[in-house]
Amino acid sequence: MRHPGPSRDDPARVDAILADIRRFGVTAARVVTRGRSRFVDPDDDDQRRIARSVITDLSTAADRLPAAFRASHPDIDWAGIRATRNFIAHDYDGTDDEVLWQAIAVQLPAILARLTDA
């Protein structure tokens, strides 16, 4: 018989998800540190691809957080995280670089700051 994994509300699971989100923030910060000119370089899309991956992973992690946890952090735009991910994933070729840059340079650090006490 297969042993069930940790429950969705298990504090250790929540901590692990939050650790993942912090790790995504570190990756995003590296992209931002490399600079906006490298990010928008038309001949090298590596940094934009990394940013898309970070936003996709952030949304996946946020969706894995218990509803009660998300409800206890109403200052975070959880629906906006999902909407940004959906926009980037489904309209990758039409994604405005500024939207993507703002997501990793402004929004993600703000989310991480709000989760610091979580």
Domain coordinates in residue numbering, the chain = 11-115
The radius of gyration of the chain's CA atoms, rounded to the nearest angstrom, is 15
Q: What is the pLDDT of residue 4?
A: 46
pLDDT at 6 over 80: no
Contacts of range 27-31, beta carbons closer than 8 Å, 24 or more positions apart:
27/54, 28/54, 28/104, 28/105, 28/108, 28/109, 29/109, 31/104
The pLDDT tens digits of the residues spanning 81-95 come to 999 898 888 876 777
Query: Pick from 7, 108, 116, 17: which is nearest to 65 by CA?
Result: 17
Q: Please report, rounded to a whole number, the percentage of residues in the chain having pLDDT higher than 90.
A: 74
pLDDT tops 70 at residue 21: yes
